[in-house]
Structure formats: structure tokens, C-alpha cells
Amino acid sequence: DVKVTQSSRYLVKRTGEKVFLECVQDMDHENMFWYRQDPGLGLRLIYFSYDVKMKEKGDIPEGYSVSREKKERFSLILESASTNQTSMYLCASSIQGLNEKLFFGSGTQLSVL
Amino acid sequence: GQQLNQSPQSMFIQEGEDVSMNCTSSSIFNTWLWYKQDPGEGPVLLIALYKAGELTSNGRLTAQFGITRKDSFLNISASIPSDVGIYFCAGQRTSGSRLTFGEGTQLTVNP
């Protein structure tokens, strides 16, 4: 069974902390994505990667960075967490050239206090 | 990035009723998609539409790619409690490009 696994289901952090959200996929997919989900705003793309060590900014990259050292792992980093980054974070992957068929993880609900 | 306008934002229906939701954009998309997010899970692809005017079914779900390529519709017939969740439309401008998602429609089905 194919899977995208996000390391934490719930996370509570303090303002100013450095936060790492981890995502691993076991489908050998080339493409990986980080979205945030907020009520009434849908899914907004933060960063994506089409290959190892490659990254591209999405629509809302400010305050975030990413790392892709291995094909199966894509990490989202909040350098200095702020309260407006409280949100549900969703990781997704897809086969190269088939970005319409995204496979999502179950999400990490991050609360920044 | 551009958002798609999805409506309604929420729906409360009785089991057995039919459901309709839609998604519109001010610009053209070459692919339209519908995803469903069950409570506590990530979204899952329901239907992909690749051609203007295309009508595609997946069980009780039917989706249509608008002929202007600026909208799409999803219908659910004879709703059941497990239809509960958030339904997202998404558009893709060109093959291989990233997706733009709508705001989502929260569906509640009362038994």
C-alpha cells in the first residue's frame, strides 16, 4: 500500500522556535510538495521539489524553507515560528509529469503559542 | 497564486439527497480535478477531467469539465453518511504544472 508519512500528527511549539516537519514517501516519486490548509483558504502551496536537492517556491514561501537530501524525504522548516503559522500542514508526492495525481499524508496540525 | 472560487463553502443535507458543488476561475485550466478529504486524513483524488465538456463518473459521483474551461462541477447522488468531508476542486494549467486548489466545500450528511 502506497504511503506518504508525516512524522507528527500534532505539534505545539513556542514563538521563535525552529520547527522541522518531516515527510517520507515510499512510492519512489520524484515530486514532493508542502501545502498549508486553513479554513476558507483551501490548500496553498508553500514549496515543492522535483528532484533531490532541488526546491522551488510555491505561492506562500515566506517564513519557510525546505530540504530534500534524499528522494523519499522532504522536510519543511520554520526558521522562527510565529503565531500566524499555526495551521494544518500537508505533504504530498507525485510521479514526474503526473502532478494532477497527488498522494497526500494525513497532515500535521501545528500550533504556535 | 490564483485561487479558484468554490461554492458553496458548506452544505448540510439529509442522507439520500443529491449534492451539487462547483468551481470557477477567471482563467483557463486544461485539467480539472476533484479531491475529497475525510476527517483526520489528507485529500484523495476522486476524479480527473482532461477535456472541455467531459463528463466522468466514479460510482455515485459525477464531475464535468466546463466547456469554457473556466469551471467544473461535482454532483453526488443519493448521499450517505460516509460522504462527509471536505471536497476540493483543483485546476492545472498545463500538463505537469502544479495545481491550484479551491477553498473547499465542507459537506455534512445527517442520517
Report yes or no: B41 at the A interface, CB cutoff 8 Å. yes
- Chain B residues whose beta carbon lies within 8 Å of the beta carbon of residue A90: 42-43
Q: Is A77 in a helix, a strand, or coil? A: strand
pLDDT at B96: 83
Report yes or no: A58 at the B interface, CB cutoff 8 Å. yes
Tell if the CB–CB gap between B88 and A43 is shorter than 8 Å.
yes
C-alpha span between A36 and A107 (Å, rounded):
9
DSSP state of B2: P
pLDDT at A1: 65
Count how many residues are written for chain A. 113
Of A4, A42, A100, the CB nearest to B48: A100
Taking CA–CA distances from B40, the nearest residue in chain A reads A106
Encode pLDDT of A47-68 as tens digits.
Answer: 999 999 899 999 999 999 999 9
How many percent of chain B have pLDDT more than 90?
90
Closest CA to A42 of B45, B105, B11, B16: B105
CB B43 within 8 A of CB A107: no
Q: Which three cell numbers stand for residue B47?
A: 476524479
pLDDT at B47: 97
CA distance, residue A63 to nearest chain B CA (Å):
17
Say if residue B33's pLDDT is above 80.
Answer: yes
Q: Which segments of chain A have a pLDDT < 70?
A: 1-2
C-alpha span between B2 and A113 (Å, rounded):
30
Of B1, B42, B43, the CB nearest to A59: B1
Say if residue B1's pLDDT is above 70.
Answer: no
Encode pLDDT of B65-86 as tens digits.
Answer: 999 999 999 999 999 999 999 9
When pLDDT is cut at 50, 70 and 90, the band that residue B2 belongs to is low
Other Cβ atoms within 10 Å of B54 Cβ, number:
16
pLDDT at A34: 98
Region B38-56: what's the mean pLDDT? 96
pLDDT at A23: 97
Contact residues for B102 (Cβ-Cβ < 8 A; gap 6+)? A42, B3, B4, B5, B6, B23, B88, B89, B90
Say if residue B3's pLDDT is above 80.
Answer: no
Backbone angles phi, psi at A84, to 5 degrees: -75, 0
C-alpha span between A63 and A82 (Å, rounded):
9
- Chain B residues whose beta carbon lies within 8 Å of the beta carbon of residue A97: 95-96
